[in-house]
Amino acid sequence: MALKFHTLDVFTDRRFGGNPLAVVLGADDLTDAQMQAIAGEFNLSETVFVQTSTRPAHSAKMRIFTPRSEIPFAGHPTIGTAILLAELNVPVHNGETDALVILEQTIGTVRVGARLRDGAPAFAEFDAPKLPAEAGILPPDDVLAAGLGLIPSEVGFENHAPICYAAGNTFAFVPVASLDAIRRARVNGGHWEKAFEQQGVSGVYVYTRQCEHTNGAFHVRMFAPQIGISEDPATGSAAVGLAGLVHQFDRLPDGTHKRVVEQGYEMGRPSQISLTLVVAGGKLSTVRIGGSAVRVSEGTIEV
């Protein structure tokens, strides 16, 4: 059986940046084991398998696999798959079109708005299917610092402190004081296991306010060796959790707040994630993730 696939770079407006994604089409007849094996073969942060939707009004069903396991939701697979399906299936009129792509994921139905323009990278955004919620307790700062190869005084800034948030996937969020510190962060051997692997988190999201570019609000890195991702160039699902702690620590007033999150620079894969937070009645009511994607390659894979 030969299946068509495409690869895209997501959360970037140019090839060879952002987070690479493989999307395998027509995957209805694949077993779970086959999908996991193919994801391991691509060896990207995530591989998407597109299947026939269960409802006529929906665009597709999709399943998401890391090289080691299936996950219920992820941001760059959602953005990349929506853009690919829009480009393949939606006609462009007068050089532009807007499309609603409805994707069935394990976490639930996700509606993605895609914007296609001739001569410009495609852009898509979606409302997070779950709002972030606090989840779990982390060890003391000195243990977290050791796990990242940092010193305790480099953990935390202003009133931001380490915290766990979940929005489909659970992440440990560790604020650090500077770009210098975040550039030196790493998975630090046995100290990492003590700090993070006993906490049941999908990954560790390290962030600082110091940025490479003036339009950035946060510079971040994400490590998830326990699910086969040594470091991720762009992590939309973790940006959803970031929205929760930004609302908590920065005490945002009611209204719409937009932030740009930069990631992947230490990997040579610069990424830009658009993060929108809507606060109503003092509570976080909506988290929206957006970004561009460009197609890189296509082919067939024999199963």
Q: What is the amino acid identity at position 33? A: A
Domain 2-129+292-302 has CATH 2.40.160.150: no
Residue 146 host element (H or E): helix 141-147
Residue 47's pLDDT is 98
**Superfamily of segment(s) 133-286:** Diaminopimelate Epimerase; Chain A, domain 1 (3.10.310.10)
- Region 76-99: what's the mean pLDDT? 94
- By annotation, the residues acting in catalysis are 46
The secondary structure of residue 226, as a DSSP letter, is: G
* Residue 226 confidence (pLDDT) above 90: no
Three-state SS for 35? helix
Calpha distance 95→93 (Å, rounded): 5
Residue 37's pLDDT is 98
Model confidence, pTM = 0.95
Report the candidate in 167, 174, 172, 194 with the shortest Cα–Cα distance to residue 71. 167
* Residue 140 confidence (pLDDT) above 90: yes
Residue 26's pLDDT is 98
How much is the mean pLDDT over the chain?
96
First to last CA, the chain: 5
For the chain, what percent of residues have pLDDT higher than 70? 100
- Region 52-66: what's the mean pLDDT? 96
Per-residue confidence band for 66, with pLDDT thresholds at 50, 70 and 90: very high
Per-residue confidence band for 181, with pLDDT thresholds at 50, 70 and 90: very high
Q: Where in the chain is the domain with CATH 3.10.310.10?
A: 2-129+292-302, 133-286
Residue 95's pLDDT is 86
Dump strand ranges (E) for 136-186: 163-166, 170-175
Contact 24, 50 (CB under 8 A): yes
* Residue 136 confidence (pLDDT) above 90: no
Residue 20 host element (H or E): strand 19-24
